[in-house]
Structure 1
Amino acid sequence: MLGEMDARRVAAPAAALAVVALVAGCTTTTAGRGSAAGTAAPPGLEAFYGQEPEWGPCAPFAVTPDDADAYADPALDCARVTVPLDYADPDGRTAEIAMLRKRATGDRIGSLLTNPGGPGASGMSFAPSLAGSLAGTPLAERFDLIGFDPRGVGSSEPAIDCETDAERDEERADLDVDGSPEGVAIAEADSQEFVDRCVERVGLDVLANVGTRDVVRDLDVLRSALGDEKLTFLGYSYGTFIGAEYAEAFPANVRALVLDGAVDPAQDAVESLVAQGAGFQLAFDAFAADCAAQPGCAIGPDPAAAVERFRALVLPLYDAPAAVGDGRRLGYTDAMTGVVQALYSEELWEILRIGLQELTVGQGRVLMLLADLYESRAEDGSYSNDLEAFPVISCVDEERITDPAVFLEIDTRYREVAPFRDDGRGPSSARPPCAFWPVPPTTEPALPVVEGLPPVLVISVTGDPATPYEAGVRLADQIGGTLLSVEGNQHTVALSGVPCVDDLVTRYLVDLEVPADGASCVI
């Protein structure tokens, strides 16, 4: 279904750096402590609060080749914390939440926990690059930087692992684009097959307890295990949903929250996807205008004609995929995935321009690199589990929709607001895996209701394609937060090298000083 793949993606800067480069232990539970660094443990969970993580080398935690390289840094250490798999049954099966730490270099305030988005993105994988960019700054001096993998993700156990690497490759090459009754039946059979694999390989008990409701409870256990009386948290994209839900569940345990690229927790699935489609069209239009000003732009010198020329360039990939050079061929689906990846940040526009220029001579290497980045496929053909975790977590986080007419409406409206995504083959009513999910949702769309929350900083970028600016405005208003408006075209911005933004974020996290009302920055 058009649009489904784009929801709640990760913070943009790390992805931009990665693709530019391409183109160019365990824990012990201390029974009886039962304290949460000054805050009483919730009844029945005393055994999980006040754990003492056994920190050690990060190398055993690596699950991807990139992780193996990053985790070899001796300045990093890693540990796991035990949580109930089902908080309604704390004496039953447990899960292990993995986390990575870069210690503060000076007068330590506490821990700064981060989540890069998703759902399904690895905070452990994200943290080393963030730590590198923060080296020598007050944040590196005053905070232990903590990246954690939410339950089911990355190095946390049990992991969401529904498909093999070969099955992922096959799925990407399978073009479910026919809106006919036969085509819809095939697409829905594929959705059901994914669900069946998840049930068989992951288990119903895990699938029922991987939503944000449970991640928020885990986050409070981590806060306790790290020895912090109050939580200091930086959440990007979907990470803002975690932060907002934590604020509602544990307002008295909050020290500081930076929520960047807000997901609107009250917006229903239809309006959310349509708004996101419009956001990506705005990003495409901005890219097209930039490309048009440069010689040799593959989609032409007239931005008004860019959508038509773009579609003429990519639609033939249905029947004639482009050569890549590694035995694979770039089809329409992977090409569009690569384009969407590049639209997350202006830093990737030049790479996208090169990729589209390659298509004019029948080559697809650069767009496939962008698509592989989005899909988390390593050079050796292995995948991380973030895009497997994405639907699994989403299916228990969002309202259950089973009516084919709703999906037809979404696809129809998406094509209207994002014509660069229109494949010309007509909208489809095919239902995605969540329509067949075997366990009920654990979260209902609603704005958080929070009382007694300290000042919170919400950041929203005017041209954010994935999480529209208005969602940040709405979230800041709902939780009584301070809104920092940032003019630019990228998905999330905090601590990505924009001095105006980084200075305000640093001042807030260190000194708890929020920007003045109406504060704004320009990328």
Structure 2
Amino acid sequence: MSARRRLLAGAGAVAASALMLTGCSAPSFLAGGTDRSEPTGETVAAELEPFYSQVLEWDRCDDVWCATATAPLDWSDPGAGEIELALVRKPASGEKLGSLLVNPGGPGGSGFEFIAESLDYATGPRLQDRFDVVGFDPRGVGRSSPVTCFDAAEMDDFLYGIVPAERGSDEWIAEVTEANREFGQACADETGELLGNVDTVSAARDLDLLRAILGDDRLNYLGYSYGTFLGATYAGLYPEKTGRLVLDGAVDPTASSQEVSVAQSVGFEDALKAYLGDCLDGDCPFSGSVDDAADEVSRLLASVERSPLRGSDGRMLGADALVMAIIYPLYSAESWPYLSEMFESVMFGEADTALAFADLYYGREPDGTYLDNSTEAFRAINCLDDTYDDDPVKMRTDAEALAAAAPIIGPYFGFGDIGCAQWPVAGDAERGAITAEGAPPIMVIGTTGDPATPYQWAEALAEQLESGFLVSYEGEGHTAYRKSNACVDDTVEDFLIDGTVPAADPKC
């Protein structure tokens, strides 16, 4: 599995509640809102005019409004078919500046659910007062035209199945390769032509379409985690239509698949050691020094690799699932006490708590169903956004480098290219710097202790963007805005509302 999978549990995935939307009713007016969005009327190519001239009809859905837009299936051939894009909107409560589109990360995270269920986590009151806050599911995701692959039972086998051969051996590679080939073929069979058109460039073109039909001359945007790559891609394509962009938890567009794997394995290992240091100061299942505790985690992973633990539902907890169970709470320091409980349970031979953590990461419900298609969308989008090489010699060399860089986590991040190398639609995108020449100032936020999108990626993106400027948050966890830091929150909101650019990095 590609190491880029670790970007999935972005701000939205961690914050999402169990609240679900009820069905939509007849349109009604809310303060500051209307049941129609009029497009800008700008001049576009004739084949795109039917899309850019859409009038969105908004229906009331609980406390928000929802609508559906159509976009070209293939932006290079707009007449080849259409897809649907699902939107949700909370109208501005005060004097409206325009729309603020929000993406929670992934790729594969649902912006619709993020805003519908976690509006106050996504945006503060000042932004809600001045903007129509708009969430959307990118192409391939959730309520938009989705990527579809396995049923729930097949997904369980794919995500939690145990490969008995030694990791990295010819037999292990062959079995993992076949499992990924079957997964990719199922996605192709169930999804059809859409599978080849869910790349980030296509999603960025969708963003421009949404901007126009919402009636905004420029795009105002708040993107978390992978959402920073989507936002930067938009700015690179449409610098003249870029408004105020905030990119929080930045991804470096130049990073290769192996560089991502190394940076993230080191990031999660650093976060794990930060947790262990905090744990050892209190009630902790480990003892001794941080290094002693880290060695114990390594032995625990090796133990379940050799002898997986059986959960009460019959599923097995192997090393890959345990790594996911460890990673999930590392996205936020507030979750560290739960990580201690999980470690203690595994030490006593109990698998259910760790499986429950891995389930949260993958969006698996207690009844065995899956909340969404985020895993499928993640794979489909990433496989088109980069190129991958499953040559065994190269993969083994890369795996050795991962294990050397991060001895605890790294051994389980290797061989990630297998999944996309078996994908039925070959990716041909070239990773490279995004400069967005001519765009107005773009805010890039980096957290010094971010395990999923390491701080150096924010530094790199801010440097690449011609008008990029860096806002640093000195702390732990993934992303920074709306994490109870007034310095970050005020800096973001002053920029989005008033266009205020700090004279220097505030180093919050």
Q: State the TM-score, normalizing by the size of structure 1.
A: 0.88
Identify which range, 82-91 or 127-136, moves more after superposition: 127-136
Q: What does residue 63 of structure 1 align with?
A: none
User: What does the per-residue CA deviation read over 1:413-461, in whole Å, with 9 as the maximum and x for residues that have no partner?
Assistant: 111122112669xx97685221122333252101113222111111000
- Looking at structure 1, the residues matched to 428 and 47 of structure 2 have their Cα atoms a distance apart, in angstroms, of 20
Partner of 1:4: 3
Which amino acid in structure 2 is aligned with residue 180 of structure 1?
S
Query: Which residue of the partner structure matches residue 174 of structure 1?
Result: 161
> 1:318 and 2:305 equivalent?
yes
Structure 2: distance between partners of 1:42 and 1:10: 38
Please give the per-residue CA displacement for 1:315-339, whole angstroms capped at 9, x wherever unaligned. Answer: 3323544464445443332221110
After alignment, is 359-368 or 321-330 more displaced?
A: 321-330
Q: Report the counterpart of residue 456 of structure 2 in structure 1.
A: 470
Looking at structure 2, the residues matched to 38 and 50 of structure 1 have their Cα atoms a distance apart, in angstroms, of 6
Q: What's the counterpart of residue 352 of structure 1?
A: 339
Question: Aligned match of 2:406 in 396, 409, 418?
Answer: 418
Alignment of 1:449 onto 2:435: yes
Instruction: Provide, for residues 260-305 of structure 1, a one-character-per-residue CA deviation record: whole Å limited to 9, x for no partner.
Output: 111111122222211221111111111111111113x223231011
CA contact (8 A) 1:119 1:238 kept: yes
Distance 1:323 1:414, change over 3 A: same
Matches within 5 A, 1:295-334: 295=283, 297-322=284-309, 324-334=311-321
Change (3 A) 1:57 1:489: same
The AA in structure 2 aligned to 1:41 is V
Q: State how far apart, in whole Å, the 1-side matches of 2:16 and 2:71 are.
A: 34
Question: What's the secondary structure of 1:91's corresponding residue?
Answer: helix
* CA deviations over 1:183-206 (Å, ceiling 9, x no partner): 211111111111211121112x21
Shift of 1:308: 1.2
Give the match for residue 34 of structure 2.
none
Q: Which residue is 2:349 aligned to?
A: 362
Alignment of 1:368-517 (within 5 A): 368-383=355-370, 384-421=372-409, 431-479=417-465, 480-517=467-504
**Partner of residue 172 from structure 2, selected from 159, 166, 183:** 183
Residues 442, 122 of structure 1: alpha-carbon distance in 2 compared, 3 angstrom cutoff: farther
Could you tell me whether the CA contact under 8 Å between 1:211 and 1:442 is conserved in 2?
no
Deviates more, 1:324-333 or 1:437-446: 324-333
Kindly tell me: are residues 406 and 43 of structure 1, through their superposed partners in 2, closer, same or farther at Cα, counting changes over 3 Å? farther
Report whether the alignment pairs 1:155 with 2:158. no
Distance 1:322 1:455 in 2: 52
In the alignment, the residues of structure 1 paired with residue 503 and residue 86 of structure 2 have an alpha-carbon distance, to the nearest angstrom, of 37
Q: Is the 8 A contact 1:315 1:423 kept in 2?
A: no
Q: What amino acid is the match of 1:507?
A: D
Q: Is the 1:231–1:253 contact (alpha carbons within 8 Å) kept by the matching residues of 2?
A: yes
- Pick from 80, 92, 103: which aligns with 1:115? 103
Q: Whole-Å Cα distance in 1 between the matches of residues 392 and 123 of structure 2?
A: 51
For residues 64-117 of structure 1, what are the alpha-carbon distances to aligned partners after superposition, in whole Å with 9 as ceiling and x for unaligned? xxxxxxxxxx21121110000011211121000111111111111111111111
Partner of 1:30: none
> Do the aligned partners of 1:508 and 1:514 also contact (CA within 8 Å) in 2?
yes
Alignment-derived partner of residue 70 in structure 1: none
Change (3 A) 1:189 1:247: same
Deviation at 1:219, TM superposition (A): 0.6
Alpha-carbon contact 2:3-2:416 (below 8 Å) kept: no
| Residues 17 and 117 in structure 2, CA contact (< 8 A), matched pair in contact too | no
Is contact 1:461–1:487 with CA below 8 Å preserved after alignment? yes
Instruction: Determine the C-alpha separation between the residues in 2 that align with 1:368 and 1:374.
Output: 10
CA distance in 2, matches of 1:394, 1:326: 32
Judged with a 3 Å threshold, the aligned counterparts in structure 2 of structure 1 residues 489 and 108 are, in CA distance, closer, same or farther, namely same
**More displaced 10-residue stretch of structure 1: 324-333 or 338-347:** 324-333
* Partner in structure 1 of residue 187 of structure 2: 198
Alignment partners' CA distance in 2, 1:371 and 1:219: 32
Amino acid at match of 1:195: G
**CA distance 1:378–1:495, change in 2 (3 Å):** same
Q: Which runs of 5+ in 2 are unaligned?
A: 19-23, 26-37
CA apart distance, 1:17: 7.0
Distance 1:439 1:359, change over 3 A: closer
Kindly indicate whether the alpha-carbon contact (under 8 Å) linking 1:233 and 1:258 is maintained by their aligned counterparts in 2: yes
- Matches of 2:47 and 2:480, distance apart in 1: 40
Deviation of 1:382 after TM superposition, in Å, equals: 1.4
Change in 2 beyond 3 A, CA 1:428/1:361: closer
Residue of 55, 58, 62 corresponding to 1:55: 58
Task: Tell me which amino acid in the other structure corresponds to 1:453.
Answer: A
Q: Does the 8 Å contact 1:187/1:430 carry over to 2?
A: no
How many residue pairs match? The answer is 487
Distance 1:341 1:130 in 2: 19
What TM-score results when the alignment is normalised by the length of structure 2? 0.90
SS at match of 1:440: coil
Q: Distance in 1 between matches of 2:314 and 2:216?
A: 51
Deviations 1:21-70, CA, capped at 9 Å, x for gaps? xxxx89xxxxxxxx952643245311100311121144xxxxxxxxxxxx
For 1:349 and 1:270, how far apart are their aligned partners in 2? Answer: 28
Letter of the 1:256 partner, please give it: R
The change in CA–CA distance for 1:497 and 1:38 in structure 2 (over 3 A counts) is farther
User: What is the deviation of 1:144?
Assistant: 1.1
1:230 is matched with 218
Looking at structure 1, the residues matched to 4 and 436 of structure 2 have their Cα atoms a distance apart, in angstroms, of 31
In the alignment, which residue of structure 1 is the partner of 2:47? 44
5+ residue gaps, structure 1, are: 20-24, 27-34, 59-73
Residue type of the alignment partner of 1:85: L
Q: Over aligned residues, Cα RMSD in angstroms?
A: 2.4
Conservation of the 8 A alpha-carbon contact between 1:188 and 1:430:
no
Q: Distance in 2 between matches of 1:288 and 1:17?
A: 26
* Matching residue within 129, 147, 150 for 1:141: 129
SS at match of 1:362: coil
Instruction: Tell me the distance in 2 between the aligned counterparts of 1:43 and 1:379.
Output: 50
Are the aligned partners of 2:326 and 2:339 in contact in 1 as well (CA < 8 Å)?
yes
Q: Is this contact kept in 2: 1:14–1:129, CA < 8 A?
A: no
Contact 2:86–2:143 (Cα < 8 Å) also in 1: yes
String of CA shifts for 1:141-176, please: whole Å, max 9, x gaps: 11111110000100001x111111101111233123
What secondary structure, in the 3-state scheme, does the structure 2 residue paired with 1:374 have? helix
Question: How far apart in 1 are the matches of 2:335 and 2:416?
Answer: 32
2:35 matched to which residue of 1?
A: none
Aligned residues with identical type, % of pairs: 39
Determine if the alignment matches structure 1 residue 275 to structure 2 residue 263.
yes
- Show CA shifts across 1:353-392 (max 9, x none): 1111122222233322221111011233211100111111
Alignment-mate amino acid for residue 152 of structure 1: G
SS in 2 for 1:80: strand
Q: Distance in 2 between matches of 1:316 and 1:400?
A: 31
Mark the CA change 1:443 to 1:134 in structure 2 (over 3 Å): closer, same or farther.
closer
Query: How much does 1:495 deviate?
Result: 2.2
Identify the residue that residue 88 of structure 2 maps to in structure 1. Answer: 100
1:244 aligns with 2:232: yes
CA contact (8 A) 1:102 1:146 kept: yes
Are the equivalent residues in 1 in contact too, given 2:387–2:427 (CA < 8 A)? yes
